[in-house]
Amino acid sequence: MSGRYELHCHLDGSVRLSTLADLAPGVDVRARAVAPPDVGSLHGFLPFIDVALDVLQTPEALERVARELAEDWRADGVVHGEVRFAPQLHTRAGLSVDAVIDAVSAGLAAVTGVRTGLLLCCLRHQDPSVSLEIAATAVRRDDVAGLDLAGDERRPGAPHREAFDLAHAAGLPVTVHAGEAAGPDSVWEALDVLGARRIGHGVRSVGSAALLSRLRRDAIALETCPRCNVLTRAVPSLAAHPVDQLLRAGLRVTVSTDTRTTADTSLDAEFAALRETFGWGPDEERRVQENAAAAVFAP
């Protein structure tokens, strides 16, 4: 198989530092946008995305960062990249949700040599009516490849079920952040209540043998993001990350960056670390890429 696949990448966490410096003059963007190694938790990690959210409020900025992400994918050997974001967070300056998506879609389409897919995020902390609006927008647009649920996993996903039922009825595939900050129960909910076909992160699934059996049986892709999982302390260290265990157990493991800027990483860096830590070679990377290719949402 030629080329890499990235399935789990957040737009607002993957803005080039040089671009942030242009859009937020006078701000120490490295200090504000790159999480330090001791950030310690998901709740400590998320504020490092705020500076990008502050400036990604115009069509020009949104189109630029989407185009640059596609360029960065191409440079990283990615032939198929799927980016996700919550368009409702980019309406502070008066843009409509559709105008936000238009700008991001245009930026992705401007780059050749890499296929792209766009996923919209519902957010656990927002009212379910907002999620329903995002889902309704997603299903009527030809440039949206899937729906996601992101945010604080301590909040249940079940209140957002109507939005995900709408996606399923329209044939729009679904992924859900689960098993990162919360345990196996959040993954069960993602599967049985929200109908997820992929799980964002899912590393804490190892706490349940029955869950691992279910994930293997249904060929559910796990969108692992090793460096980010260590930064947020979903796992205590890379050596303790279950990615190698899960791959060898026959689960559909994939590897992504999550947030290229906030986590200060790339797929090159992720696979280099996995080679050093677990002795991965071409066979393991090939299996990961085959898993990702089988799990893509975009055509």
112 domain-assigned: yes
93 domain-assigned: yes
Supply the pLDDT for residue 298: 79
Split the chain (299 residues) into runs of 10 and give each run's mean pLDDT: 89 98 97 96 94 98 98 97 98 98 98 97 98 98 98 94 98 97 96 98 96 98 98 96 97 98 98 98 97 92
- φ, ψ at 199 (rounded to 5°): -120, 125
Please, are residues 38 and 45 in contact by the beta-carbon 8 Å criterion?
Answer: no
CATH, residue 277: 3.20.20.140
Asked about 180 being catalytic, the answer comes back as: yes
Torsion region of 119: left, alpha or beta (phi above 0 gives left; psi -120 to 50 gives alpha): beta
Supply the pLDDT for residue 50: 97
247 domain-assigned: yes
Our count of domains for the chain comes to 1
- Any idea what DSSP says for residue 68? H
157 domain-assigned: yes
Please, are residues 150 and 163 in contact by the beta-carbon 8 Å criterion?
Answer: no
Beta bridge partners of 265: none
R_g of the chain, CA atoms, integer Å: 18
299 domain-assigned: no
Q: Which domain holds residue 191?
A: 4-293
Which spans in the chain are helix H? 17-23, 29-33, 42-45, 50-55, 59-75, 97-109, 128-140, 161-169, 184-192, 209-217, 226-231, 243-248, 267-278, 282-295
Q: Of the residues 63, 82, 153, 180, which is catalytic?
A: 180
| SS3 of residue 199 by DSSP | strand
Supply the pLDDT for residue 1: 47
298 domain-assigned: no
Tell me the pTM: 0.97
* Residues in CB range of 14: below 8 A, 6 or more apart: 65, 69, 72, 83, 257, 259, 260, 261, 262
181 domain-assigned: yes
